[in-house]
Amino acid sequence: MREGSRVVIIGGGPGGYEAALTARQLGARCTLVEDKGVGGSAVLTDVVPSKTLIASAEWLHSVESADQLGIVATGEPWRASFSAINARIRALAARQSEDIRRRLANVGVTILDGRAKIATALGRDGTRMVRAHLTDGTVRDLEAEVVLIATGAAPRELPDAKPDGERILNWTQMYELTELPRHLVVVGSGVTGAEFAGAYNALGVPVTLVSSRDRVLPNEDPDGAEVIERVFARRGMTILSRSRAQAVRRSTDGVVVTLDDGRHIEASHCLLAVLTGQVG
């Protein structure tokens, strides 16, 4: 990449914004196109929000266990204000996104809010053309010597378990809930599923974790995963190993999760935390 090269980056997550910073360090003219907010899922719906949720949940669990250390509370017991927790999560995520946006702007990155795709036609001198459809309704055509696609990934949807944002949810929708679920079924026992299952369990929600594998966190260190699974079980979580979710449907006041062996689980909410190529 030579100095003065025109670079267009589609996607403002960690891959996109770090590439934009590097491009500017090398003297390139850089435009970044993002439609959901700079920082991507890591900042807005994944790492930052989930760790914030876990911090609140673990703090509440520590307080509830304080009597085991000889600390006795007087008056009303501590309780979780779920709407306040999620409001704080969204505020922290938005603040960090804005911090990243300011940093990019300060080093000279042009940020366009919208979606973009590479056009089939070439620009002048054989450069690539990128067409950006902006959120304000306008369209911008961008010429670039270098185009980087850094659009990340999205939650997988099962054919018979479509998220509706109310009772059947993917992890990007969990932070819109205003009340704690009465009973949460988590489908998927990878890192995302285990984090949400552990956090909601620590907040006092009955949780059923559906795992298609022999244990939770199947791709992590076996000894560490075994310890985490024992902690989950000790806290009252129901773990259904070697079980696959076949369908999730709405009921009158909740959801029914159907497993491939014919069992049915009734709950108030279901979180789908399924990775590509994996069911449960």
Confidence (pLDDT) at 278: 41
The pLDDT value given to residue 76 = 67
H helices present in 74-179, as ranges: 82-106
Cα separation values, 17 from 12, 14, 103, Å: 5, 5, 10
Residues of the chain with pLDDT under 70: 1-2, 64-67, 69, 71, 73-77, 121, 123-124, 126, 275-280
Domain boundaries, the chain: 1-152, 168-272
Q: Evaluate whether 1-152 and 168-272 have a shared fold.
A: yes
Segment 29-52, tens digit of pLDDT: 999 999 999 999 889 988 889 899
In this prediction, residue 280 carries a pLDDT of 39
SS3 84: helix
Q: What is the pLDDT of residues 249-270, one digit of tens each?
A: 999 999 999 999 999 999 999 9
| Residue 279, pLDDT score | 38
**Superfamily, domain 168-272:** FAD/NAD(P)-binding domain (3.50.50.60)
Q: What is the 3-state secondary structure (H, E, C) of 186-227?
A: EECCCHHHHHHHHHHHHCCCCEEEECCCCCCCCCCCHHHHHH
pTM: 0.80
Place of tokens 């929600």: 205
pLDDT given at position 104 = 98
**What fold does the segment set 1-152 form as a domain?**
FAD/NAD(P)-binding domain (3.50.50)
